[in-house]
């Protein structure tokens, strides 16, 4: 079993990892039926699931590490590698697909220099596809940092990229 765990930043992050995970565990009363929610909150906090955090969860919930790892790798919500500060999610729902979502994904792949599912080395951008965000009437849809952008065309993607790049500089 290969575990990927890279510290996202310097020591500061490492020190507070334990406390943060404890706090999240308490939020759910250390209840094993909330394992997915706990992992989701950890993912949100660190933008991935650090190995140390998974170990902590396994210990606190008295659940074998194998089960925590199985859940962490089964569900799409989780990543064992850090995600970028800006996340582009291209909706691949059926409605978006028939309105040209694959071409939008390819456009983003070209412009960001990333393949679907990859994160840039400087951790600035992540590009991923999602199965349906339920905004089907607006397709094709791209979700940029949680904001839904509807009726995407190639030129709208250009505008979105300019906007996001402007924010990060």
What residues line the site for other proteins (CB under 8 A)?
Answer: 32-37, 39-40, 61, 63, 67, 70-71, 74-78, 92-95, 97-100, 103, 106-107, 110, 130-139, 141, 146, 148-150, 153-155
Handedness of CA 98, 102, 108, 110 (dihedral sign): negative
In the complex with other proteins, the residue whose CB is nearer, 8 or 129, is 129
In the complex with other proteins, the residue whose CB is nearer, 20 or 150, is 150
Structure tokens at 21: 């995970």
In the complex with other proteins, the residue whose CB is nearer, 22 or 102, is 102
Task: Measure CA 66 to chain center.
Answer: 22
Q: Smallest gap, in angstroms, from Cβ of residue 107 to other proteins?
A: 7
Q: Smallest gap, in angstroms, from Cβ of residue 26 to other proteins?
A: 14
Q: Smallest gap, in angstroms, from Cβ of residue 125 to other proteins?
A: 18
How far is the CA of 109 from the CAs of 76, 104, 115, in angstroms? 20, 9, 5
State how beta strands 125-130 and 147-149 pair: unpaired
| Cβ–Cβ under 8 Å, residues 39 and 71 | yes
Q: Which of 106, 107, 93, 108 is nearest to 140 (CA)?
A: 93
In the complex with other proteins, the residue whose CB is nearer, 12 or 137, is 137
Q: Smallest gap, in angstroms, from Cβ of residue 15 to other proteins?
A: 28
């Amino acid at each position: 079993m290969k575990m990927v765990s890279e510290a996202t930043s310097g020591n500061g992050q490492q020190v507070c990892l334990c406390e943060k995970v404890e706090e999240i565990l308490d939020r759910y009363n250390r209840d094993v039926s909330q394992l997915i929610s706990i992992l989701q909150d950890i993912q949100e906090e660190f933008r991935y699931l650090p190995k140390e955090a998974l170990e902590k969860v396994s210990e606190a919930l008295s659940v074998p590490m194998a089960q925590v790892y199985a859940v962490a790798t089964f569900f799409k919500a989780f990543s064992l590698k850090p995600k970028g500060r800006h996340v582009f999610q291209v909706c691949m729902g059926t409605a978006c697909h028939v309105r040209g979502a694959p071409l939008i994904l390819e456009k983003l792949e070209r412009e960001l220099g990333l393949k679907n599912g990859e994160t840039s080395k400087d951790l600035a951008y992540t590009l991923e596809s999602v199965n349906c965000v339920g905004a089907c009437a607006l397709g094709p849809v791209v979700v940029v940092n949680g904001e839904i952008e509807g009726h995407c065309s190639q030129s709208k993607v250009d505008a979105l990229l300019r906007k996001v790049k402007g924010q990060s500089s």
